[in-house]
Chain A
Amino acid sequence: MKTNDVILQTTTKVVFFIIFLFSIHIFFAGHYTPGGGFVGGLLTTGAIVLLLLAFDLKTVQKALPFNFTIMTAIGLLLALGTAAGSIFFNVPFFTHAFDDFTLPLFGVTSLHTAMVFDAGVFLVVVGAAITIIQSIGGDS
């Protein structure tokens, strides 16, 4: 018997983007308030898992044609690169830099190198979690 999942699939198409946008909001909130790359990454993973539940593995792989192992590697590289940048300035490892910039649209914004590190964490979390789910879910 074919199950009827029209409602699930239709809501998922909308809810996916809401969760994804919220995860980006959480990611940027992370420096001064609760949030950050790890939680943001987990939320995004949650959104993708919702897609997996509503559709199936093949459809999702077609919709998101990324190699998630490579994504993890890129994330690690970003995180390590940001932390290791301090080596070239001869300050202790992980020392971060920040300054206020006046940007169009945003006004005065303080930009941190820690944000790039967090973006790396975000990619690692999404990449690793989805790789795990894919390889477990891929076994039939």
Chain B
Amino acid sequence: MINLPLLPIILPFLFAILLLFFKENVRIQRALTLVGVIISLIASFYLLVTVKTEGVLAVTLGSWPAPFGIAMVSDMFSALLVTTTLLITLFVVVYSFTAIGEERERFFYYPAILFMVTGVNGAFTTGDIFNMFVFFEVLLIASYLLIVLGGEKKQLRESIKYILVNVVSSALFVITIAYLYSVVGTLNMADISVKIAEVGQPGIITVIAVLMLIVFGVKGAIFPLYFWLPGSYAAPPVPVLALFGALLTKVGVYAIMRTYTLFFIHNVGVTHEILMVVSVLTVIVGCIGALAYFDLKQIIIYNIVIAVGVILFGAAQMNEAGISGAIFYLVHDMLIKGALFLLIGIIIYVTGTSNLRKMGGLMKTHAPLGWFYLIAAFGLAGIPPLSGFIGKLLIAQGAFEAGNIWGSIIILASSLIVLLSVIRIFIYAFWGEPMELPKTKRKPYARMMLPTIVLVVLSVLYGVGTEWLIPYVTDATDVLLQPSIYIDAVLK
């Protein structure tokens, strides 16, 4: 199967097209979406196993020779992310059956999700920098639809901001690629790495590196470019928020990690130092935001910003512990953010508000919700043996090895603030005197709990089963630290 790396991209795309034929029939839409996501997930697991046994897989589209055609490359890093993406999508789709409402389902909600997954998986897989731009656009255009779908006043206001920010950053992305192309004369990422190594990264390449950081930083929400994120993400309904929070910023993070380990590795003293300072600042502003609000959505949204900072801090260390910690933490964060957003979606459904001050005493009426929320909150903060622990441990270890004592102390201290911010939700919403709840049915609550519980359990397994995952993460780390593995696989 020479085209195996493409399957997790093509299959969601195919099902998204099929869905266009059944606009009005919600039942068929749900069934087809579910089937499509499950088949894609199976394909991506098969891809993961194949990459594990055979090493990096590369295919050049249209049978053109390697640096000229568009290469699609599946290494362990991208295969892990593709699989996690489809896993999250599966749970969000099942959750949406109850949570999103027929109005939206009739208006291309599921095709938009599948088109977005096509773009996300494509961006994770592509080995061509311009093609990465194209897949960014695919996922962005689908996300424009998702953010505005429903047409509430707040959504319309925020989606204008969201679209403007992304259009500007996309324009900058093309300009940056043009700069890069004018210097190295190629778009194939493996070939770019070779050409930059040949010229030894002169000043202009370092400028381009910083430009790339700005471009991907807007998508990935690093300091000070995260300004659009809290407002825009709070506008759409919770299932969309879960998808955005778990997947979209991670594409930006992935792109930074990929370019900063494959291209710009000859002047680490400048580029990675900037990345590290920015990531620490990102963590700090994220912490301030997470403590400042009494709104459920805002608290978790600012936790996205913190996580982005932590992951990039790990990536900036450029040693084995730091990078593998970043990969562990990246996958963990996708799972746990998905779970947390689904959980607070249920809390908002049950209480009818997202204001912490207006809720209380849910433990008496909705105990399972409380316990699973607590597990997810501990997982996010990284209490061993839950999923956030190993990633943060490795990141801190890597930073100490690289001699960045202060940075790692801030990262470790931020865990406490993360814990405080999510436990505050627990205390306000689940303890105290029960408030009068609006009348809600028990059945939708149970239906929403099911995918959420499975996702929380998965994230626990991810933490407990770290030992089995280590070989996979080691493979991913090796490719990132030794670009020659990636380059040899693409250019043969």
Interface residues of A (CB under 8 A from B): 69-70, 72-73, 76-77, 80, 84, 86-87, 90-96
Contact = CB atoms under 8 A, between A and B. Distances in A.
B17 A90 contact: no
Contacts of B182: none
Nearest to A78: B17
B21 A80 contact: no
Contacts of B20: 69-70, 72-73, 76
B84 interface: no
Contact of A92 (B13, B14, B23, B60): B60
B112 interface: no
B290 interface: no
Contacts of B14: 80, 84
Interface residues on B, range: 10 to 19
Contacts of A87: 3, 6
Contact of A80 (B2, B3, B10): B10
Given A80-B10, A95-B62, A90 B21 contact: no
A91 B20 CA distance: 29
A85 B1 CA distance: 13
A92 B21 contact: no
Interface secondary structure of A, over-half rule: helix
Contacts, number: 47
A117 to B, nearest CB: 11
Interface in B11-29: 13-14, 17-18, 20-21, 23
A93 B61 contact: yes
A76 B3 contact: no
Given A73-B18, A90-B2, A92-B61, 11 more contacts: A69-B23, A70-B20, A73-B20, A77-B18, A80-B17, A90-B1, A90-B3, A91-B2, A92-B60, A93-B6, A93-B62
A92 B17 contact: no
A92 B2 contact: yes
B142 interface: no
22 contacts: A72-B20, A73-B18, A73-B20, A80-B13, A80-B14, A84-B10, A86-B3, A87-B3, A90-B1, A90-B2, A90-B3, A92-B3, A92-B59, A92-B62, A92-B63, A92-B69, A93-B10, A93-B61, A94-B61, A94-B62, A95-B63, A96-B62
Interface of B: 1-3, 6, 10, 13-14, 17-18, 20-21, 23, 59-63, 69, 72
Contacts of B6: 87, 93
A92 to B, nearest CB: 5
Contacts of A70: 20-21
A77 B60 CA distance: 22
B130 to A, nearest CB: 16
| A-B complex: 6 closest residue pairs judged by Cβ atoms | A73-B20, A94-B62, A95-B63, A94-B61, A76-B17, A87-B3
B144 to A, nearest CB: 14
Contacts of B59: 92-93
B2 A77 contact: no
Contact of B17 (A77, A93, A94): A77
B428 to A, nearest CB: 44
A76 B20 CA distance: 10
